[in-house]
Structure 1
Amino acid sequence: MKRRNFLKQSTLASSLFFVPNFVKAFEQVAKKSLGYKKLVIIQLSGGNDGLNTVIPYTNDLYYSNRPELSIKKNKLIKVTNELGFHTSLAPLKNLYDQGYLSIINNVGYPNPSRSHFRSSDIWQTASGA
């Protein structure tokens, strides 16, 4: 299945509406375990444009370096005073507002490789950089 078709047909977007109720069912367990948190990572391999997914709409460099590719300020969903979501991520805004979702930017590893393949291996296997 092509990535584009997967994204269009995926039930993930519609199932996001049920996540808060699912999470609330385990809220007491999480509170008792003092600081229990879980990190869920969804990796979109194959050309996801991260800068047009979580958009730094107050950064002039974003617009000056992407005059044709940038998402205009009136065409995004403002999440913070600096970041916005692409409109296809509208269901995530509610989760963010409720505190069930966070944005983690500028994540990397020391001495990054200029090889896309090696970098992917490092992330997917948690191997040493």
Structure 2
Amino acid sequence: MKSKTSNNLYYVCSLMEFIGRETKNKRCDIVNLLGEETIRHILEYADVFHSEQIAAVADRFIEEYKIEKGLFDNVENCKYNVPDYWSIGAVYQRLIESVCKVDLVLTLIEVYNSWISVYIDDYNIAVYYMTPQYIKVCYEQGEILE
């Protein structure tokens, strides 16, 4: 059974994915626009936010932070089955937890702004589909391993 913190992180990561898809922005841009303080707030109250539809929560943050439409559309560009936002949220949640040493939110910001985010968000190469251990080792090694 997952801990409350783990479940909340899963929700935060899924919300980042949802907002990114809605606004056609890279996920790192969403994380950076919201910032550390807001992400901490979402993480702390994720169980409350989760009681609402994720689209309604996303709309509030999009409006409050004036997140404009971008040009990044990894869903439209996907040639195969598109993973849902919960699945991608789980990939990020597991990676963040596995590499976190001190602060979960700072690790989240670091991971979303790292090189591996480009690979996780490219649904045509299916890194998101690899095992959590493989993704963690790639992240730590700084490259996709063969």
TM-score (norm 2): 0.26
> Where is the helix percentage greater, Structure 1 or Structure 2?
2
Bigger CA radius of gyration: 1
Q: Point out the structure with the larger strand share.
A: 1
- TM-score by structure 1 length? 0.28
